Structure 1
Amino acid sequence: MIWKLPISKKNTMLLLLAAALIVFAAFHLDLTALDEGKGEALQFPASTVPQVEPGLDELPNPADFQLAAQNDKLRLLMDPKTGHFKVEDKRSGSVWHSYPNPEQWEKEDLIKEGSLWRYHLRSPVMFQYMDFSDHKSSPKDANMISENGTIKDLQMLPDGFKLTFDMPSKQIAVPVEVKLEDDSVVTRILDEGLSEGSLSLIWIRLYPFFGAQQSADPDGYMFIPDGSGALMKFRDNHMNVNKLYREPVYGQDLSFKVSNLDGTRSPAMMPVFGIKSGAQGFISVVEDGAEYADITASPAGVFGRYNWNTAQMNYRSTFKQVTNAKKNRSFITYNKEERFGSDRVVRYMLLDKADADYVGMAARYRQYLMEKHGLKKLEPKSSNIPLEITLLGADTETGFVKDKYLKQTTTAQAKQIVSELHELGIKNMTVHYKGWQNGGYSSSGGLLPVDSRIGGNEGMKQLVEFAHSLDIPVYLDADYSSNNSGRDGFRKRNHGLRDMGGSPIRDLVSLKFLDKVIDKDMEAYQSLGIDGLRLTGLGRYLNSDFNSKYAASRHESLQLQGNIFDKFKEGVGQVQGTAANFYTLPYVNSISRLPNDYSYDLFSDSSVPFAQIALHGLISYTSEYINERQQYRNDFLRDLEYGVNPSFIFTYSNEEKSKYTKGLHLFSSNYAVWEQAAVEEYRIFNEVLGSVQGQFIAAHRTLADKVKETTYEDGTRVIVNYNPEPYVSGDTSGENSSDTSGGIRVEGQSYIVIRGGGTK
């Protein structure tokens, strides 16, 4: 039997008094001090985040923080009342908060009292949810505080703490862990125990304002993984209402793409973000669940006066449900049952004062790649820098009746090009052959054997043998991600990648279909004697697959791609990537067409060579083909600044044939035209970068407006001047001048090299 208390003024007062006593008990308990040594699983009663008047009392009380863990570099303290934490850096004395910098809080006057965003700023967890039982429902944002959330199951761990943020009003509970590891604080959303009731999660932002700062430091900035890396400088700008940056890590999942419009922004190929303010800086790496994360960055003026960035962990996504393909009818919706699984882990690596800038961020990420993914320092094959040449075999041109096969470079002609370059003094080369497959470059699927019209398998073997006689490796470009030929038994309806709505996506292939195809091709590759493959498509694009026979989540697709890279490494030789995401780094020895710029949109202020600083000395990389540059001189200088290996694409035939092909549209590829220029360009690259190709980039800075300096481990400095007029050291008229070297002159649109010993 359920007893109900009759409603009356007296009983109402009793209920209110009881509630007040509960709240008082929750926040005035004499909590036992945390055991810092043994890390015992101490239990704490559930508590509700208090409602307070605007001001410093809105933020956690410093007196409530208790030691949770410590090591020789960091001390982790947590607040049992709010679930927030702070980290004290023993090396520098810096203090990091999981909420906005409290020293600046009283200056937060852009967000009104009682507004949802003021609760967001204070809350340890934000989330978006949706009621799928109501067809008119739309996603709504909420947070721990606005929902009167409760902290449950708080436990001390040997190296941190564990708790659950419970929002009974929304029937959503989020279990988390926070731990110290060396110079890092690691946060984890546990998938086990993450619960939903009648409402469904869209995304979660855990401690989204960790390290958030107002624009007090004019030299402060946020780092975002746009292109090679970009900075969002601190500005106290109240008009930034449209400048929220958000990009999916590893690019968009095409299975959930809802628009046919391709974005112009560079994809986030690296799972990283960071903040630098004053002498403090951190770089964060999204570890587990990166494939389901968006990097989000908000400059001051968008939502309050704070600059903040975070990893938004997505649990569901919109998709296009087609109702009539012939009439192009569809609608955009969510799938309640399709919740993305796995733990979500973010590692915040806290930088010492001397390393608190984007160079220090990239160097710490490089160290992370070596420690966590086994990358090793590069051992150059030669004192000469390698020249990467790509040769286009053939392509097709669309005809009225049938397509026309356009032969560009036969294997015999490729052999001739390699021989001539070698005789002209280029002893260290890597040859890549593109468009060698049946039907040429635009034909995908059933790649082998080599098309007989350019020399066939026998011609390729002869090219490889000749190149090997000169100690030159040969790689074949291969795209296994698509099939437009129907070869290998491929049928789009049966074997094609399908989106969430069940529609085939272009000519993309289900990854699980590729097992037998790759096994079949392996023996043929081995018979050709090649040194490896340069994969395109795979490594660059990461998609879920809803083909019922070959279904794979985005997480599974990431693992499947890793397995494919490993299989080719074991069966063929080295594997290289093309504009590849950084999840390929454990498998590749080189990345071609690594981005060397940013998107030039409203979000960013300048590009930085973050990716290049992280990778130089670990694996080799190139940018765009030299003979396909858009701004020839500027791109040449940037390649020198970013430590890029030189790269050309050649055809033996006149490039007029290439302008109207289905695939590559080359406008300046004829080898005969480029031969002497290629030799001269290589000479410059070799002279500038040959001696440092195996070294880490130790520093990078702006000496004056459009004057950049890159420094290597041995002290070698490469200074490039993008201005039309000369740069003379000591001239501080340019923005951000920081040159203290003295005695340097760099001509306009030129460069100089200063070796470690001081010679130019």
Structure 2
Amino acid sequence: MKRYIILSLIVISLLMIISVYGYETDIPAEETAESTDISSEMRSENDVLENMECVLENENLKLYLKKDEDLFALVNKKNNYIWWSSPVNAGCDENATDALKSELKSSLVISYYSENSSSVSSLKSAKDADISYSSDGNSLTAEYDFRKYGINVKAEYSLGEDFIQADILSENISENKNCLVCGISIMNAFGAADSSENGYFIIPDGSGAVINFNNGKINAKQYSSMVYGDDMTASSEKKAANSEKISLPLYSIVKNDNAVLAVIRKGDANATLNSAVSIQSSTSYNKAYFTFTVHEKDSYYIGSEENPITVCNNKKNNNDISLRYYILDDNDISYCNIAEKYREYLLSELNVSAKDCLKSPDIYIDLYGGALKKQSVLGIPVYQKQCFTSFSQAQKLISDIDAENKAVSFRNWTDDGIEHKTDFSGSPSETLSGKTDFQKLCEYTENKLYPVSENISFSSGNGYSRLSDSAIRVSGSYSEISAYDYAYGVKDKFRKKYSLLSPSALSRIYDEISENYPSENISLGKSLSVLYGDYGKNYTSREDMKNIIINCLEKLDMNILAENPNAYALPYIDCITDIPVNSSRYDIFDYDIPFYQMVLHGIVPYSCEPVNSSANTCDMLIKAAAYGSALNYDLVYSDVSELKNTEADIYFYSNYSNINQDYQLAKDIIKAVKDCTITAYKPLEKGFEISYSNNVKIIYDGKNYKMTDSNIKH
């Protein structure tokens, strides 16, 4: 009898435990059965629009809503063209699975991390959310309640003169502790084009690239790239393929003599741009969209390099999301029209000021001073400072270049730079011949010397320690920057590792630079081109780092040169180097365009990437000249054989003797178009045709590496 009573009590206790805790820890599996689909029959756009409610309107635009389908329609009142948040016939797509149909039909898609399964899954608003709407006449608020998952998101939609804007405040993203929101895509199918439509996407990868709708590249990898480049904290065990980054937070869709320019106003540092063409996307639609990271993820390996473990940071990126879609309706939509619209945005919204480009340099020279090199002293290997270009040798290199208007950046010119420590002292290295020769070099360059202070990776010293000032990965380990073996692409264990500097240390370093620098000019090198977080006790998201940098630049009262900087830095920069002349040339791309150059030319002076660093210097030189770029070269005075087994060996190409010959070829074009904007660009079978606002036209024959120009006096 006692045994039955004890068993009964155990069963009752188990039932009570399940009833109390079971639903709190369980996460519903994604439903596989599709809910009743009220849009599964083919219908016309006009039929759908007739059954929609106008919720917002201004002089130029009307926003309609179909509440029961999670569907928006933006009507351009000038020509009655309709931009849909989702394809009206997404439910009829024979090439899409039920899950992808749901994604196409959703105005909000969420990826979430399940702590129980250590996996990432997705939720679609059209299928998984209860949506409620409210309007105050000026904006529409949509509340997406993913009740089963404990996730709730509020988005606000509003109209401007020529745009629709979608905003999500960080405080309006709530979540269950067991379901962490990793990413959010808002209007992920806006402007999606079906397989019968003609048009293209402009992707700001490198100089810029075009993806034609339905280009048949179904076996190519879909495009997905973080805005401003990958997060450096999560360093890979193997070297990634060389690629360009996205420096401008935008993309464009062009179809039927209409275009939309999507621009991120807030949250750009945590955004990823995605694009795919029909069939390749596993649907019948071509689409491009942004995904915004809310919780950072990382992967690490235990034992083997197979089946990595995914971890998600519990701390949310407390950054708002704001995405704006500009509507363009010119009958002659072109790359330059779209670039002009973004240029207007930079000037009016980001307060970028137009520089005096007529006085800008024709040539930029980047000199490398010194590095640590392992030497044998009494049979003991020690690292010693070695000079590759002294200040007096730099003057000789510069004097040998015929161009009248030159700008010079000088990296590793201090002992701290040579030793790879945080570099803010502004004290010229005696190894390079010291302060007196440095001052002579400044005078010789007529105040166009830009000493470099980069401060991305470092070794302990100068009050900064690996233990307290290193960025921390999501996995909890210290983030390190390693050199890779040239032959095998794996981390080179025989090279020094450096720590990645925490963004929280930047304010202090910039204050030191302001106090100590011996010049009113400074090159910040690649430091305005990279972005990363610190996911340890000094938690700093990429967006936080962006804001830290902006605050630092606002206080830095100096003339600033930067290498291929990110868009948020443009208001503070006087000249730019290392603008790419190509995209990453991914298989999905159809051809390159100089979109970055179209945006900036005539506004901010810039140069191409180092001509002598290119495997095809002829192609680089002619493209740079045609794109109106100043020329750029990396140089050292020593024989490049001296660079072996130092961190400077990446400049193996830096003995170059054809600069004057290159300049004679390009100088007339560079001078002729300095302060002009690019007004037209036409791809040709083996080249391109480009026009400027002063009627200069240049045709590049890429097959024979020939360039012809008109209206230029030689």
Which bracket does the TM-score occupy, shorter chain normalised?
A: 0.7 to 0.9
How far has the Cα of 1:211 moved from its partner? 0.5
Q: Find the aligned partners of 2:577 and 2:335 in 1 and give their Cα distance.
A: 23
**CA root-mean-square deviation:** 2.8
User: Is residue 2:576 matched to residue 1:591?
Assistant: yes
User: Is residue 2:636 matched to residue 1:651?
Assistant: yes
User: Is residue 2:364 matched to residue 1:388?
Assistant: yes
Q: Find the aligned partners of 1:665 and 1:442 in 2 and give their Cα distance.
A: 17
8 Å CA contact retained: 1:488, 1:517: no
Match of 1:398 among 374, 395, 407: 374
Alignment of structure 1 residues 414-433 onto 2, 5 Å: 414-421=394-401, 424=402, 426-433=403-410
Alignment of structure 1 residues 113-152 onto 2, 5 Å: 115-132=98-115, 134=116, 136-147=117-128, 149-152=129-132
Alignment of structure 1 residues 433-448 onto 2, 5 Å: 433-438=410-415, 441=418, 443-446=420-423, 448=425
User: Is residue 2:231 matched to residue 1:253?
Assistant: yes
C-alpha offsets along residues 693-713 of structure 1, whole Å, 9 cap, x if unaligned?
Answer: 1111111112x3113111111
Match of 2:253 among 275, 288, 295: 275
Partner amino acid, structure 2, of 1:502: G
Change (3 A) 1:87 1:145: closer
How far has the Cα of 1:99 moved from its partner? 1.0
Q: Find the aligned partners of 2:661 and 2:174 in 1 and give their Cα distance.
A: 63
Match of 1:56 among 42, 45, 56: 42
Q: Find the aligned partners of 1:53 and 1:692 in 2 and give their Cα distance.
A: 54
Q: Find the aligned partners of 2:610 and 2:52 in 1 and give their Cα distance.
A: 56
User: Is residue 2:584 matched to residue 1:566?
Assistant: no
Q: Which residue of 2 is the match for residue 542 of structure 1?
A: 531
Q: Which residue of 1 is the match for residue 354 of structure 2?
A: 377
How far has the Cα of 1:442 moved from its partner? 6.2
8 Å CA contact retained: 1:249, 1:294: yes
Match of 1:492 among 466, 480, 492: 466
Q: Find the aligned partners of 1:428 and 1:158 in 2 and give their Cα distance.
A: 56
8 Å CA contact retained: 1:52, 1:58: no
TM-score when normalising by structure 2: 0.85
Q: Which residue of 2 is the match for residue 752 of structure 1?
A: 708
Alignment of structure 1 residues 76-115 onto 2, 5 Å: 76-100=63-87, 102=88, 108-111=93-96, 115=98
8 Å CA contact retained: 2:416, 2:423: no
Q: Find the aligned partners of 2:527 and 2:92 in 1 and give their Cα distance.
A: 48
Q: Find the aligned partners of 1:261 and 1:119 in 2 and give their Cα distance.
A: 37
Match of 1:700 among 657, 677, 681: 681
Change (3 A) 1:256 1:432: closer
How far has the Cα of 1:143 moved from its partner? 1.0
C-alpha offsets along residues 579-619 of structure 1, whole Å, 9 cap, x if unaligned?
Answer: 32222112212221122212222222211111111111111
Change (3 A) 1:356 1:160: farther
Alignment of structure 1 residues 349-368 onto 2, 5 Å: 349-354=326-331, 356-368=333-345
C-alpha offsets along residues 111-135 of structure 1, whole Å, 9 cap, x if unaligned?
Answer: 25xx111122222222222332x2x
Q: Find the aligned partners of 1:207 and 1:517 in 2 and give their Cα distance.
A: 40
Match of 2:585 among 600, 603, 619: 600
Q: Secondary structure at the match of 1:538?
A: helix
Q: Find the aligned partners of 1:395 and 1:612 in 2 and give their Cα distance.
A: 34
C-alpha offsets along residues 372-426 of structure 1, whole Å, 9 cap, x if unaligned?
Answer: 11112231353x85221222222333345123543222212222333444xx4x2
Match of 1:188 among 154, 163, 167: 167
Q: Find the aligned partners of 1:620 and 1:129 in 2 and give their Cα distance.
A: 43
Q: Find the aligned partners of 2:43 and 2:214 in 1 and give their Cα distance.
A: 27
8 Å CA contact retained: 1:126, 1:143: yes
Change (3 A) 1:185 1:279: same
User: Is residue 2:625 matched to residue 1:625?
Assistant: no
Alignment of structure 1 residues 448-459 onto 2, 5 Å: 448=425, 449-459=427-437
Q: Find the aligned partners of 1:86 and 1:262 in 2 and give their Cα distance.
A: 41
Q: Find the aligned partners of 2:508 and 2:63 in 1 and give their Cα distance.
A: 51
Q: Which residue of 1 is the match for residue 545 of structure 2?
A: 557
Aligned length: 655
Q: Find the aligned partners of 1:517 and 1:341 in 2 and give their Cα distance.
A: 25
Change (3 A) 1:659 1:380: same
Which runs of 5 or more residues in structure 2 are unaligned?
1-33, 481-498
Alignment of structure 1 residues 297-312 onto 2, 5 Å: 297-301=275-279, 302-312=281-291
How far has the Cα of 1:49 moved from its partner? 9.3
Alignment of structure 1 residues 735-750 onto 2, 5 Å: 749-750=705-706
C-alpha offsets along residues 232-262 of structure 1, whole Å, 9 cap, x if unaligned?
Answer: 112264x725532111111222335575543
C-alpha offsets along residues 429-487 of structure 1, whole Å, 9 cap, x if unaligned?
Answer: 1121122121665633245321112121222112112322xxx5111111112222x33
Q: Find the aligned partners of 1:137 and 1:497 in 2 and give their Cα distance.
A: 24
Q: Which residue of 2 is the match for residue 477 of structure 1?
A: 452
8 Å CA contact retained: 1:396, 1:439: no
Change (3 A) 1:588 1:78: same
Q: Find the aligned partners of 1:381 and 1:223 in 2 and give their Cα distance.
A: 30
User: Is residue 2:192 matched to residue 1:212?
Assistant: yes
Identity %: 20
Q: Secondary structure at the match of 1:185?
A: strand
Partner amino acid, structure 1, of 2:323: V
8 Å CA contact retained: 1:123, 1:144: yes
Change (3 A) 1:465 1:523: farther
Change (3 A) 1:413 1:604: same
C-alpha offsets along residues 468-526 of structure 1, whole Å, 9 cap, x if unaligned?
Answer: 2xxx5111111112222x3312220122222123322121222333444443343331x
Change (3 A) 1:127 1:546: closer
8 Å CA contact retained: 1:257, 1:319: no
Q: Which residue of 2 is the match for residue 319 of structure 1?
A: 298
Q: Secondary structure at the match of 1:254?
A: coil
Q: Find the aligned partners of 2:136 and 2:689 in 1 and give their Cα distance.
A: 46
User: Is residue 2:402 matched to residue 1:410?
Assistant: no
Q: Find the aligned partners of 1:614 and 1:212 in 2 and give their Cα distance.
A: 25
Q: Find the aligned partners of 2:363 and 2:255 in 1 and give their Cα distance.
A: 40
8 Å CA contact retained: 2:471, 2:502: yes
8 Å CA contact retained: 1:316, 1:334: no
Change (3 A) 1:180 1:49: farther
Change (3 A) 1:141 1:552: closer
Q: Secondary structure at the match of 1:630?
A: coil
Alignment of structure 1 residues 715-730 onto 2, 5 Å: 715-724=695-704
Larger RCO of the pair (alpha carbons < 8 Å, separation 6+): 2
Match of 1:156 among 116, 128, 135: 135
TM-score when normalising by structure 1: 0.80
Q: Which residue of 1 is the match for residue 153 of structure 2?
A: 174
Which runs of 5 or more residues in structure 1 are unaligned?
1-47, 725-748
Change (3 A) 1:445 1:124: closer
Partner amino acid, structure 2, of 1:161: L
Q: Secondary structure at the match of 1:558?
A: helix
Q: Find the aligned partners of 1:188 and 1:241 in 2 and give their Cα distance.
A: 35
Q: Which residue of 2 is the match for residue 10 of structure 1?
A: none
8 Å CA contact retained: 1:92, 1:353: no
Q: Find the aligned partners of 1:496 and 1:263 in 2 and give their Cα distance.
A: 26
How far has the Cα of 1:294 moved from its partner? 1.0
C-alpha offsets along residues 268-320 of structure 1, whole Å, 9 cap, x if unaligned?
Answer: 22211121122121111122111121111121002211100111122223224
Change (3 A) 1:194 1:367: same
Change (3 A) 1:95 1:141: same
Change (3 A) 1:713 1:416: same
8 Å CA contact retained: 2:108, 2:124: yes
Change (3 A) 1:199 1:651: closer
Q: Which residue of 2 is the match for residue 501 of structure 1?
A: 475
Q: Find the aligned partners of 2:310 and 2:667 in 1 and give their Cα distance.
A: 54
